[in-house]
Amino acid sequence: MKSNFLEKKDLIPWFLIFLFAINLNSQIDSSSVYNDLEVVKFYSVSTSSSTQGGKARYKVNDKGVNKSTYDKYHNAFKDMMDCCPCILKTYDEKEVLLSESISCGDCKVGYYKEFYPNGKLKIHGEYKENPTGNWNDILKRGYCYMLDGKWLYYNIYGHINYIEIWEDGNFIEQRPKGKEVEIWKVDLSLNGVEVDTQKVALKDFHKLKFTPQYKNLNESDDLVLKLNVSAVGFKIIRKEVEKDEFEKVEIQELIKKVGTSEVEKISVQIGIYYKGKIIQTFFIKLSE
């Protein structure tokens, strides 16, 4: 679908884009289907606990801590998963605010703000809201992390770098177009047909095609595919290949290493990476 956002792109001066962005910024958060939401505090840290020699040990971001410190961060994770919906404020270990959003558990379902360490706004946009009041299966129903509307991206000085338009999770356009390779999704197909929930025959596995979709004119095929081949109760076999080498993957050999000959039990997880950053993950079920 073609957007009418900033038509005549080559003729619009930057100061008009700036004024337009200010107007967009004032519109974001201006209305919502949610009322009187609870504010929940969350920490973007990793926690773990273990028992050694009968003594409990606790870690936060791989550093040893006491139980009260561990509980502070671990309980915040429980609070986040229990909120639906809420205003979720995410902090780092040093109590620096990283982001603020409307969330249902770990799903974003409303406005989103991300901040630089100096407190200035980094990203401001909207995820699709859920007006139904029904919070069951919101991922399947299309109310989880669905970018929608205008997204503003700022530099560290508070100036707008660029603006993006999204519609129901689909990227529409970026103004001005960026100079870096930006992949917003990857399409998976087999013999020209999109692969969604259907099983893939073992003999056709090597025919799977991964097609990146870009936000601007800059493209790169230097994608890395990380495969996890597994079955419940058996080993996980990992393999990493360049995108262009995927057709050479010997999936039958990987299955043998898993330790089962029952193909129907096999699950293949394929993570798509660009420059070390995860772009998308596919979960594929196989059939004979």
Residue 264 CB partners (closer than 8 Å, separation 6+): 285, 286, 287, 288
Q: Give the mean pLDDT of 227-234.
A: 95
Assign domain 14-38+83-176 one CATH number from 1.10.3120, 3.30.70, 1.10.10, 3.90.930.
3.90.930
Q: What residue segments make up the domains of the chain, in order of their start?
A: 14-38+83-176, 184-287
Q: What percent of the chain has pLDDT over 90?
A: 83
The residue with greater pLDDT, 32 or 60, is 60
The residue with greater pLDDT, 178 or 30, is 178
Question: What's residue 10's pLDDT?
Answer: 36
C-beta separation of 227 from 221 below 8 A: no
Question: What's residue 13's pLDDT?
Answer: 42
Q: What percent of the chain has pLDDT over 70?
A: 89
The residue with greater pLDDT, 29 or 271, is 271
Question: What's residue 52's pLDDT?
Answer: 86
The pLDDT tens digits for 73-121 are 999 999 999 999 999 999 999 999 999 999 999 999 999 999 999 999 9
How far, rounded to the nearest angstrom, does the alpha carbon of residue 51 sit from its chain's CA centroid? Answer: 33
**pLDDT greater than 90 at residue 198:** no
C-beta separation of 109 from 131 below 8 A: no
**pLDDT greater than 90 at residue 213:** yes
The pLDDT tens digits for 121-139 are 999 999 999 999 999 999 9
Residue 181 CB partners (closer than 8 Å, separation 6+): 214, 218, 219, 220, 274
| Neighbour tally for 4: CB within 10 Å | 6
